[in-house]
Amino acid sequence: MKKVTKLLGLAAFSFASLTLTNCSDDPEPIGNPPASEVIENLNNGIMSGSLEQDFTLSAGTNYNLTKAFIVKSGATLTIPAGTNITAAAGGTEIYIAVLQGGKININGTSSSPVIMSSASADPGDWGGLTICGNATTTAGVGAEAEVGGFIYGGTNDADNSGSINYLLIKGTGAQINSESQYNGVSLYAVGSGTTISNVAVVDGSDDGVEFFGGTVNATNIYVENCEDDAIDWTEGWNGTVDNTYISNTKGGFSTAFEADKDNNNPKFNNVTAVSTVGGTALQFKKQSGATITGLSLTGYDVSIDMKDDGPLANVIIEGAEANPLLNYTNPPTVDIANFAWVNSTLSTDATLLQGTVSGTVTLDPSLSYKLNSSYIVQEGGELIIPAGTKIEARDGGTGVYIAVLKGGKIDIQGTSTNPVVIASVNGNPGDWGGLTICGKATTTAGVDAEAEVGGFIYGGTVDNDNSGSVRYLVLKGTGAQINSESQYNGLSLYAVGSGTTIEYISVINGSDDGVEFFGGTVNASNLYLENNEDDSVDWTEGWNGTVTNTYITHTIAGFSTAFEGDKDNGNPTFTNLTAISTVGGTALQFKKQSGATINNIWLEGYTTNIDMKDDGPLANVIIDGAAASTTATYMTGTKVDISGWTWRNASL
């Protein structure tokens, strides 16, 4: 929504601009055909001018909307099922408007919807459908739209402007001026006596459906690729919408939801919004809000945006205050199959990875997959990724990652000749989030701790917990920034148990850590970590597993460390560690009371080999059988041989 009045502009007709002063008693525009001619035109399949009496279009007839068509006070326009109205691509001169006291009855069915569209259905071709009612709005009684002068708003919240059922509308959103455009369907102070169900708006240049105050309710709303907001409301609208499906497959749109001004707490039951291009899902301006249940968001970079720092308490989602840190990536609550009548060309490409995995999903290595957003394996679900599978991660920052929740499993079946690769196109640090696995093993953070990434729950009492198997996996471009304190890692292991297999992992060009262990008992082997900007291997919360064969390389300055241990010392064991830097830096850093046992170590090129950051005891760090030394060179071991690790640099 760009302005309260953006949808109601009436552009000049062929001789002069249209002047309207009141929705219920407006003068005839210059050049508008007389009433008798309007009826004659309708009988000939042409819609133009102002309708001043009841009229029913002929079923099966194709009508041409050649100019503005206005249903005046006291008149009712009835549109039977199967009627097609083709709007001329005339921009702001082409629209249908129902004034205060007028009615429209659209009687489509699932097998024969009413269709209003320009011939090419290009965004902005025409104005769309506008209805003015007598319900309350914070704009007041007899409010006047800035553009066009339509009058709307009254005191009758039960006002009836007719009914709309099975309407498909395309190509709307004509540009009025730099600040204003038409919407697909604009509802100005429309009352609860009006029935709106099964409405689809596709390819609009502005909003799909916008409510300007009023009390009207709606059911089964479908909005696809509207360039501003899919659903927008303002001026204290307080109705209810049941079952909303929103799809964004073209970049540059504004939001799925936009709310503005005063909050009269409208309600949305069952909302499924899917984006393949990132973007913002729900935006609330000023003091606006809503109550939402059954919310499923997929593919958006931002879930909740309180644009003007309004109170989160105004937005209630699933019975709780909205949380911008949550992605609300729940299973879909609205089935797109319910809108088969739309005949959308929306791609249902099976290679697009987003949403949730609740059963068993097996990818096909012959396909090229795209990780568009979060892809979350739920409790009881399993994601199987065969050898050779390539997954291209969208450069979407924190909105793009794979997570396995407690009780879920992942089975990555790469081989030395056919590793699994998950990477952004350019592999730049921070392009996407990485892979996170949550388990039920012990952690000093406790049972059911909350992860700093995603708010995921992890930790329990099952040290032999099995979250699956990850073998021969290459991750590139991970480490998206969450906030000033937190980032995703390449591979994050939260309380993962020893029943899980982690081996042959390559993490290259991560903006944060390569691999981090948050408690747990999981073991790992054959880790290759190249130019990760924070720590190559990081552990905390009492992790006490074993890692065999670790090779770390730093050729770009500014990284943190090769190893970082933090908090309580669970004494993890590292066997065969090689870390080589061409740019100095710190090799092994231990914070607080952390430590480890390291056997067969080779450190080369670091300015500092051992850093006890908080003056913890060197005795907590045992290297080749002795307490660590801050003066030792640690170039006495045998380097890990990676000459056969040709899989480590596999690409998309």
Instruction: Please report the pLDDT score of residue 32 as a whole number.
Output: 66
209-212/229-234 β-pairing:
parallel
Q: What are the residues whose beta carbons fall under 8 Å from the beta carbon of 363, sequence distance 6 or more? A: 369, 383, 384, 385, 386, 389, 391
Range ranked top by mean pLDDT from 322-331, 370-379, 432-441, 475-484: 432-441
Q: What are the residues whose beta carbons fall under 8 Å from the beta carbon of 382, sequence distance 6 or more? A: 357, 359, 360, 361, 408, 409, 410, 411, 468
Percentages helix, strand, coil for the chain, rounded to the nearest 5? 5, 40, 55
What's the pLDDT tens digit per position in 515-573? 999 999 999 999 999 999 999 999 999 999 999 999 999 999 999 999 999 999 999 99
Report d(CA 551, CA 250) in Å as an integer: 42
Instruction: Please report the pLDDT score of residue 586 as a whole number.
Output: 98
What's the pLDDT tens digit per position in 605-647? 999 999 999 999 999 999 999 999 999 999 989 999 999 999 9
> What is the DSSP-derived secondary structure letter of residue 337?
G
pTM (two decimals):
0.76
What angle is formed at CA 92 by the lines to CA 91 and CA 95, rounded to 5 degrees?
Answer: 95
Instruction: Please report the pLDDT score of residue 12 as a whole number.
Output: 30
User: What backbone torsions phi and psi does residue 642 show, to the nearest 5 degrees?
Assistant: -110, 15
Q: Is the pLDDT of residue 346 over 90?
A: no
Report d(CA 24, CA 36) in Å as an integer: 20
User: In b/e form, how buried is each residue of 163-187, taking b as 16+ CB within 10 angstroms?
Assistant: bbbbbbbbbbbbbbeeebbbbbbbb
Q: Which CATH class is domain 35-340?
A: mainly beta
Instruction: Please report the pLDDT score of residue 487 as a whole number.
Output: 86
Rg for the chain, CA atoms, rounded: 30
What's the pLDDT tens digit per position in 444-457? 999 999 998 888 99
Question: Looking at per-residue confidence, does 147 or 598 come out higher?
Answer: 598
The answer to whether the CB of 386 falls within 8 A of the CB of 367 is: no
Q: What integer is the mean pLDDT of 383-405?
A: 94
> What is the DSSP-derived secondary structure letter of residue 55?
E
Q: What integer is the mean pLDDT of 93-111?
A: 96
Where are any strands of DSSP class E within 459-533?
Answer: 468-476, 491-494, 501-508, 515-518, 524-530
Mean pLDDT, the chain, integer: 92
Instruction: Please report the pLDDT score of residue 301 as a whole number.
Output: 85
> What is the DSSP-derived secondary structure letter of residue 175?
B
Position 374 confidence tier, pLDDT thresholds 50, 70, 90: confident
Instruction: Please report the pLDDT score of residue 325 as a whole number.
Output: 82
435-438/401-404 β-pairing:
parallel
Q: Is the pLDDT of residue 20 over 50?
A: no
- Which of 72, 155, 71, 87 has the alpha carbon at shortest distance from 122? 87
Of 83-92, 95-104, 367-376, the range with the lowest mean pLDDT is 367-376
Q: What integer is the mean pLDDT of 326-337?
A: 87
The answer to whether the CB of 103 falls within 8 A of the CB of 67 is: no
Position 11 confidence tier, pLDDT thresholds 50, 70, 90: very low
Domains of the chain, by residue range, sit at: 35-340, 356-649
Report d(CA 629, CA 608) in Å as an integer: 11
Q: pLDDT exceeding 90 applies to what percent of the chain? A: 83
What's the pLDDT tens digit per position in 181-225? 889 999 999 999 999 999 999 999 999 999 999 999 999 999 999
User: What backbone torsions phi and psi does residue 313 show, to the nearest 5 degrees?
Assistant: -65, -15
Q: What integer is the mean pLDDT of 102-128?
A: 97
Report d(CA 240, CA 263) in Å as an integer: 14
Q: Which H or E element spans position 40?
A: helix 35-43
Report d(CA 202, CA 346) in Å as an integer: 10
Q: Is the pLDDT of residue 147 over 70?
A: no
Number of Cβ within 10 Å of residue 320's Cβ equals 10
Instruction: Please report the pLDDT score of residue 347 as a whole number.
Output: 54
Instruction: Please report the pLDDT score of residue 21 as a whole number.
Output: 33
Q: How far is CA 27 from CA 100, 149, 449, in A?
A: 14, 12, 67
Question: Please, what's the largest Cα pairwise distance for the chain?
Answer: 103
Q: Is the pLDDT of residue 3 over 50?
A: no
Q: Is the pLDDT of residue 64 over 60?
A: yes
User: In b/e form, how buried is each residue of 353-377, taking b as 16+ CB within 10 angstroms?
Assistant: bbbbbeeeeebebeeebbbbbbbbb
Q: Is the pLDDT of residue 464 over 60?
A: yes
Of 266-270, 349-353, 424-428, the range with the lowest mean pLDDT is 349-353
Position 15 confidence tier, pLDDT thresholds 50, 70, 90: very low
Q: How far is CA 378 from CA 143, 154, 355, 551, 569, in A?
A: 50, 49, 10, 33, 31
